[in-house]
Structure 1
Amino acid sequence: MIHNNHNVRIAGPRACECCGDLLQSHIDSWKGHSHFFCSKPACKVAARIVPGGRYVEPNTIPCAADGCGNYIPEGVYGKGTRFFVCSLVCRQNRYYSLRGAEVVFKCESCGKQGTGVRNDGKGLRKYCSRICAGKARYEKNLAKSGRHRPLLDLYLETAVVDRYRGGSIRTHTYAVTTFLEFADKTGIDSLEEVNPLTISNFAKWGREAGSPNLLAGVCHIKMFFDWQLGTGMRKAANPVVSSIHRVRQPHREPRPYSEKELVYIWSLLDLRGNSRLRAAAAIAEESGMRRGELANIRLGDLDLDHQEVFVRLPNKRNRERTARFGEKAKSLISTWLKDRNSNCGHDHLFHNSQNNPYSGLTMHLEFVKVLCKSWLGKQQHEEGMDAWSVHRMRHTMASRLSKGGADYATIMGAGGWTTFTAMVGYAKVDTEDARRGYEEAMTRYEASTKLSSEPLCLTLEEYLARVDTE
């Protein structure tokens, strides 16, 4: 059977998938239309129960190709099919009409030339890659600082790069840039004019603009003014007053995946995933490593014999540690190592389909594409999860250790937490365990109270009376 570049199969002789008899005519097939049955009653029944299929009755669904008034043929189609066509010709016509003509464009971020598609109503591509699109969004955000942009650039170059990493840089930069945008729009020429009332007005400005939680990032603004004080650029005190401006953040309970959810996740990974994703999910479930730490694993960091992995720098807390995993992760890592391309040109444990090292973001997106119903805002599966987070596997690991009786020092060491407060935000205490522990503690207390109420010293008469009764 011949395939072309558009998941289309050229017409040819076919046999009924139920009885095996050759069909009388040549039939076109394409992605979403590849199951064929004859007209025998038993075969028609079999066609209606094809796994992952949808049986379409005759004269029920019109062809989606422009200018075609036919109905699609009776038969089995993919369960997730959104657009139905009546023939191979209509499918190709619809493909090219939606795709549009490719034209040359210049990336607005890096300046390189590429080819893109001009779709109706969507215009031409502006960027050659997601990386360039991200850089453009970042630059657009910095431009909001207006007249304070030179000071912001100096701050980012001299202070932020040494203190923050990864996503924390974006969070910090966004908070500071938003404040500088407010200062620019309200006519503040010099930041020396900023006082505590200005910070309060900034929060009010955010509420009026539909962003009521701007002060949630007030710690970033405070650091920005601390930097100005430390470098001598500011003479007045820091305008951020913690007792006034710091917002108490709501405390969220730990969010581990339940055992039922984990069974469902692994069923989806077995059905739609690959050995790379299964290995990454197993390590995350049993070791609690963050997605950036997973992407940063090197082959030399793994010790399958002792079931350990070295968590190298950089990471969120900038601390090296050793994470441990179980038999499931060991087995799935071994399977992935057999599939891993040894000629990929690097020593990262995980690489993508282009043999490039995984990043935390690409890992997350691939998980979402496999596990979730929608991907990048588009429906792709009828069955799947509503949302996915590798970080919830970290909650799962901590909660399992807590339920298994591990002490707090063990849990903190396993997850790399440096404070008790941080750790308890991940380890969920089971409701039944909490109730049982409460009842046992109260029983012990009542027993100790009862014993303490008895006299410690007995007279000779009391002792002899107790012996006689016993």
Structure 2
Amino acid sequence: MEPAAVEARQQFLDALNVERRFSLNTLQAYARDLSQLVNYCDENELVSWSQLDPHHVRRFVAQRHRKGLSARSLQRELSACRSFFSYLIKTNVLLNNPASGIRAPKSAKTLPKVLDVDQINSLLEAVPNDDLEIRDVAMWELLYSSGLRVSELANIDLMDLDLSSRTVHVVNGKGGKSRLLPLGRKAVNAIRKWLAVRMDKVKTGEMALFVGKTGLRLTTRSIQSRLERWRKRQGLQGRLHPHMLRHSFASHMLESSQDLRAVQELLGHSNISTTQVYTHLDFQHLASVYDKAHPRAKPKKK
């Protein structure tokens, strides 16, 4: 593509970063998705965005599908393209959005995996063997106590905590939104234990709540690695990732309170339909109890 077209793509990414304050992970995903579109244009000798029409976009989606891209990934790529084309319309590069009305294949709905209360207790009540494991317990308690995303956990600074009022301030959550969340009693106790040993681990000037062996802020990848290590130590089956603690928090809160709006606020979801997936999890639990308990639901004994 001509340099002006490639530059327009970079200007769009810069706008997402500055104006909409997208996270680094989201920006990298947009960049990857639009790189695929640029490659398609180069292969088909399209030098400017104005040459791209709905027919090309359909062929692009079909080509990506043939290469084995999942329906969910195709939906994400198409969404990135739509957003980019809308930006080009605003900047007077395009008159119409060539991706408008084009749909990716539907993906099968998958419910998030959650831990039951016994599994959570097994994970959180293990006795730490060293200072880093004291830190780990504080992280797992905080994830489950407040339903944080792993990126939010990694970004928490000391000043974001108020242990006396048992709150944590998520300053820059998904979409740049902030929210104030309650902290459970056990999470507060675990954090206090970590703070007592943190001062011997941290580098001067580092404000991150959770630091690693280097004394610097933990990365999300390091947190994921530590949780998987912790799972193996506790003998839990299957893979375990930080988001499962967030899912478990949401499912258990909704099961106990039945307050969908409150859970939406706690999770920081902008759309309640995102939170409603946990009602399906709750129904699955109820249906399982029903099948086991109701006299007319039990399978006949052979």
- Give the TM interval when normalised to the shorter protein: 0.7 to 0.9
C-alpha spacing 1:249/1:269, structure 2 compared with 1 (3 Å):
farther
Q: Which residue of 1 aligns with 2:224?
A: 364
Provide structure 1 residue ranges, at least 5 long, that are not aligned to the other structure: 1-144, 373-380, 438-470
Alignment of 1:31-430 (within 5 A): 148-163=5-20, 164-211=22-69, 213=71, 215-216=74-75, 217-235=77-95, 237-242=96-101, 244-266=102-124, 270=128, 274-312=133-171, 314-341=172-199, 344=203, 345-372=205-232, 385-426=237-278, 428-429=281-282
- Aligned partners of 2:289, 2:137: CA distance in 1, in Å? 36
Contact 2:139 2:153 in 1 (8 A): yes
| Structure 1 counterpart of 2:85, one-letter code | F
Separation in 2, partners of 1:291, 1:319: 15
SS at structure 1 position matched to 2:174: coil
Q: 1:208 to 1:363 in 2, by over 3 A?
A: same
Summarize the Cα distance change of 1:150–1:412 in structure 2 as closer, same or farther, 3 Å threshold: closer
Percent of counterpart pairs with the same letter?
19
Q: Could you say which structure has the higher strand fraction?
A: 1
Tell me, yes or no, if the aligned pair for 1:269 and 1:371 is still in contact at 8 Å: no
Distance 2:234 2:168 in 1: 36
Contact 1:288–1:395 under 8 Å retained in 2:
yes
Q: Is the 8 A contact 1:364 1:390 kept in 2?
A: yes
Structure 1 pair 309–194 and aligned structure 2 pair: CA distance change class (3 A): same
- Residues 166-224 of structure 1 show CA distances to partners (whole Å, capped at 9, x for unaligned) of 21111111111111111111221222111111111112222333335463121110111
- Structure 1 residue 239 displacement after superposition: 0.6
Alignment length, in residue pairs?
A: 282
**Cα RMSD after superposing both structures:** 2.9
Residue aligned with 1:310, SS: strand
Larger % of helix: which?
2
Alpha-carbon distance, 1:384 to partner:
5.5
Structure 2 unaligned spans of 5+: 291-302
Whose relative contact order is higher, 1 or 2, with alpha carbons under 8 Å and at least 6 apart?
2
Question: Quick one: distance in 1 between partners of 2:270 and 2:231?
Answer: 32
The code of the aligned residue for 1:245 comes to R
Contact preservation (8 Å) 1:215, 1:245: no
**Shift in Å at residue 385 of structure 1?**
4.7
Which residue identity lines up with residue 167 of structure 1 in the other structure?
N
Q: 1:175 to 1:317 in 2, by over 3 A?
A: same
CA shift for structure 1 position 347: 2.2
Distance in structure 1 (CA, Å) of the matches to 2:70 and 2:184:
44
Q: Residue 168 of structure 2 aligns to a residue in which SS?
A: strand
User: For 2:260 and 2:68, how far apart are their aligned partners in 1?
Assistant: 41
Listed one character per residue, the Cα deviations across residues 100-151 of structure 1 (whole Å, up to 9, x for unaligned) are xxxxxxxxxxxxxxxxxxxxxxxxxxxxxxxxxxxxxxxxxxxxx7965333
